[in-house]
Each structure stands twice: as structure tokens, then as C-alpha cells.
């Protein structure tokens, strides 16, 4: 009987583990962003080591603690959009000024959590609009799968064929992405396209950067960082988790985001937050039973800590894996999330708002330093407010918020 229970437990853990492994590959891909930004900003090796450590290690530690403590997929990460935003400000602000602006942003987010204002913002963010944004955020990953197929037809084709065959033969018993990943890496290794023996990488002692608080940095960078952490990341992620039947600790998450950003910024500017695409991958229906999905988030958190500590080797590994192979694995991993998001976005009673959010998230729109995800939420809300008033009212009534 004990063996049977162990087997059933292992079977239940396949889906969250598969989702977690997929997210680890996404993180390895994301690692290229701070590395490229560091080169553009002219950072020293010690500053690069510190920035990667805090971007991945601190977020991973918080994800590990929160997921295990609350048994929910609370995947805290370094905000990718803030990484890109910081890189874009390299010619306008110095590194210490960016650190100061990030610390102020963390303090403001901490205050939002203390006064419970993030929860109020989430009440006015209808789930269909969140799903519209999510579908737009996920779609490029799925498209990249077929771009990768054209670039590397043999390994990517094998991955795709294995995925379809596994889905047909194994059904829901084993997530098809798992055998697809294994077979894909075997093929890549046999064909010589994959090298898992990294070159020697020297460790650098992380450097602490003393902040410089300037009016220019505060006005230019801080408001954008606050919006990216709250409205673009935490609020829609919390709304998604509620839609999945969870009761996320909103104040705790916001408080951790603020406090982590405030303290961690001494090692480099960052924005610790939940990530909507990442939360959907480890917390959606395709990630297994609701009461086991948090294991996927915990697995990602542990991997992020290791990436942060072993940043030089993680960078070498990411560089050794062909990008088409990573794109193929990630593209197949998000298929279920994309399908569920499209269904939820179009099932009503709001339709136009989610469509606006989907289109804007795909547009690359950038206004006043704010990216397309933020404007997807804003314009989706505006469209529903003016064009779908009755549908919005019905949705709010069904949620018991009136």
C-alpha cells in the first residue's frame, strides 16, 4: 500500500516538475538579458556578479520560502522588464543613481503592501483582461517554436514529433513536454550541437554599490519601476492565482517585493515581483493538481538560487545550448497556458477589453517609458469600461465586489 501511495505521489508530481523544469530553461534564456545589459552599461565583473546574484538568487529564495510556506505557486522573480528598462537608461543615469532609484521604488512598493492598496487595485482588474494580456505575452514563445523549426529542423522536429507522440500514447499520465525535452537534448548531443562541459569560469566577489539619490533618477526611473512591479506584475499575477482558486497572501507578496527590492538593490537595480507568464506556467491547469503546483514554483526557486550563486557557470551553460532548442522547449511548454488563456479571455462577459489587451501586448507599444504590458492593462480596462459597461457590471457582481 505504501508503494502504491508513493507511485501515485510520484505520478502527481510529474506535471508540476515538468512545468518547473520548463521555467528553469526560460530563466537560463533570460540570463542573457542582464549579461547583455551589463556589457552595455560598462559594469565591472564584480558588479555583474552582484547583479546576477540578486536578480536570480534573492528572487529564487523568496519564491522557495513563499511557495513552501503557503503551498501556492508564488514564483517571485527579478522583473525582466525592469532589467530591460535599466539597460535603456544606461546613457542617462549612472549605475549608483539607478541603484538609488530602485531602492526608492522598493520602499514605495513596501508602503503599498502595508496599506493594502495593491489588493484594491486587483479588485478593479477583471480576470478576462488579465487573460487577454497573458495570451499576448505567451504567443511569441509559441511562435518562436516554428521559427526554431526552420532554423534547426532535425532536433526541433524530433522534439515536436516526440511531444505529439507522447501526448497521443501517454495522454495525461505524463506531461508530453518531459519526454520531448529528454529526446531533444539527446539528439542535440549526438549531433554535436550541445556541449554540457562549460569552459572555465572565474568567480568574482559580488560588489555592493552605494546608492546615489538624485531628483533626475527619482522622476525618470522610480515611477516606472513601481508600476512595473505592481500593476504589470503583482496585480495581474494575483488576479490569475485567484481565478485558479487560490487565496494568495497579497500583502505578504507585495511586502516581500518591496522589502526585497529595497534591500537587494544594493547589489544592483531590480524589481522583485511575481511574473504573470511564469505564474501561469507553474500555477495553471496544465501544471497538475492545484495542491501540488507549488512544488513547481519551489523547484524554480531552488534553481534560481543556484543560478544566482553559480552565475558564471549558468551563463556558460545557457550559451552552450542552441537557442532554437531552448525556443522549441519553451514554445511547447506554454501551449496549454496559451489555450487556457485564450478560452478564458473570450468566454465573456467581457470580450472587447481582453481583445484590446491581447493586441496591445503584442504591439510593442511604449509610451512615457512604460511598456506594452502596462498599456495592455490600461487600454483593456478603458475599452471595457466604455464599450462593455453591462458586461463589466455582470462580472463584478458575479465576483461579489459590488
Q: How high is the pLDDT of residue 151?
A: 85
Q: How high is the pLDDT of residue 320?
A: 65
Please compute the mean of the pLDDT values over residues 312-334 and round it to a whole number.
70
Grade residue 7 by pLDDT with cuts at 50, 70 and 90.
Answer: very low
Of the two residues 92 and 110, the one the predictor is more confident about is 110
Per DSSP, the residues of 216-263 read: HHHHHTHHHHHHHHIIIIIHHHHHHHHHTT----HHHHHHHHHHHHHH
Q: How high is the pLDDT of residue 402?
A: 35
Q: How high is the pLDDT of residue 355?
A: 92
Strand-pair partners of 274: 76
Q: How high is the pLDDT of residue 361?
A: 83
Q: How high is the pLDDT of residue 56?
A: 93
Return the top range by mean pLDDT from 15-24, 172-181, 322-331.
Answer: 15-24
Q: How high is the pLDDT of residue 262?
A: 95
Q: How high is the pLDDT of residue 48?
A: 84
Contact criterion met (CB below 8 Å) for 357 and 380: yes
φ and ψ at residue 367, rounded to 5 degrees:
-135, 135
Of the two residues 105 and 119, the one the predictor is more confident about is 105
Contact criterion met (CB below 8 Å) for 309 and 187: no
Contact criterion met (CB below 8 Å) for 276 and 76: no
What share of the chain has pLDDT > 90, as a percent? Answer: 22
Of the two residues 89 and 257, the one the predictor is more confident about is 257
- List b or e across 55-84, with b for residues whose CB sees 16 or more CB atoms inside 10 angstroms: bbbbbbbbbbebbeebbbbbbbbbbbbbbe
Of the two residues 161 and 89, the one the predictor is more confident about is 161
pTM tops 0.75, yes or no:
no
Q: How high is the pLDDT of residue 319?
A: 57
pLDDT 10s digits, 131-163: 888 788 778 878 988 998 888 888 888 888 988
Grade residue 311 by pLDDT with cuts at 50, 70 and 90.
Answer: confident
Return the top range by mean pLDDT from 27-36, 79-88, 286-295.
Answer: 286-295
Q: How high is the pLDDT of residue 120?
A: 65
Grade residue 1 by pLDDT with cuts at 50, 70 and 90.
Answer: very low
Q: Give the number of other Cβ atoms within 10 Å of residue 204's Cβ.
A: 16
Grade residue 318 by pLDDT with cuts at 50, 70 and 90.
Answer: low
Amino acid at each position: 500500500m505504501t508503494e502504491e501511495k508513493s507511485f501515485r505521489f510520484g505520478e502527481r508530481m510529474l506535471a508540476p516538475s515538468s512545468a518547473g523544469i520548463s521555467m528553469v530553461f526560460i530563466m537560463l534564456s533570460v540570463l542573457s538579458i542582464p549579461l547583455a545589459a551589463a556589457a552595455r552599461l560598462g559594469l565591472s565583473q564584480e558588479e555583474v556578479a552582484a547583479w546576477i546574484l540578486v536578480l536570480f538568487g534573492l528572487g529564487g529564495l523568496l519564491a522557495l520560502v513563499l511557495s513552501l510556506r503557503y503551498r501556492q505557486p508564488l514564483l517571485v522573480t527579478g522583473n525582466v522588464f525592469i532589467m530591460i528598462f535599466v539597460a535603456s537608461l544606461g546613457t542617462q543615469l549612472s549605475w549608483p543613481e539607478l541603484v538609488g532609484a530602485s531602492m526608492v521604488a522598493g520602499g514605495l512598493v513596501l508602503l503599498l503592501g502595508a496599506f493594502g492598496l495593491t489588493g484594491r487595485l486587483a479588485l478593479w482588474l477583471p480576470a478576462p483582461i488579465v487573460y487577454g494580456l497573458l495570451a499576448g505575452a505567451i504567443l511569441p514563445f509559441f511562435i518562436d517554436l516554428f521559427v526554431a523549426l526552420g532554423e534547426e529542423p532535425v532536433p526541433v522536429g524530433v522534439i515536436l514529433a516526440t511531444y505529439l507522440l507522447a501526448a497521443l500514447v501517454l495522454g495525461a499520465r505524463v506531461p508530453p513536454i518531459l519526454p520531448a525535452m529528454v529526446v531533444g537534448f539527446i539528439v542535440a548531443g549526438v549531433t554535436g550541437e550541445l556541449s554540457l562541459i562549460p569552459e572555465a569560469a572565474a568567480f568574482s566577489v559580488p560588489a555592493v554599490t552605494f546608492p546615489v539619490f538624485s531628483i533626475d533618477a527619482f522622476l525618470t526611473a522610480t515611477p516606472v519601476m513601481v508600476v512595473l512591479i505592481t500593476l504589470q506584475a503583482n496585480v495581474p499575477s494575483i488576479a490569475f492565482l485567484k481565478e485558479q482558486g487560490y487565496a494568495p497572501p497579497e500583502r505578504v507578496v507585495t511586502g516581500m517585493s518591496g522589502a526585497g527590492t529595497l534591500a537587494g538593490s544594493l547589489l544592483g537595480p531590480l524589481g522583485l515581483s511575481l511574473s504573470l507568464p511564469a505564474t501561469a506556467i507553474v500555477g495553471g491547469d496544465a501544471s497538475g493538481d492545484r495542491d501540488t503546483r507549488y512544488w513547481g514554483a519551489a523547484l524554480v526557486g531552488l534553481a534560481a538560487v543556484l543560478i544566482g550563486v553559480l552565475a558564471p557557470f549558468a551563463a556558460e551553460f545557457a550559451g552552450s545550448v542552441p537557442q532554437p532548442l531552448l525556443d522549441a522547449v519553451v514554445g511547447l511548454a506554454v501551449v496549454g497556458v496559451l489555450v487556457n488563456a485564450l478560452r478564458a479571455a473570450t468566454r465573456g462577459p467581457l470580450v472587447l477589453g481582453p481583445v484590446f489587451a491581447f493586441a496591445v501586448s503584442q504591439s510593442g507599444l511604449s509610451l512615457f517609458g512604460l511598456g506594452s504590458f502596462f498599456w495592455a492593462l490600461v487600454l483593456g480596462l478603458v475599452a471595457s469600461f466604455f464599450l462593455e459597461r453591462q458586461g463589466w457590471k455582470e462580472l463584478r457582481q458575479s465576483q461579489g465586489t459590488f
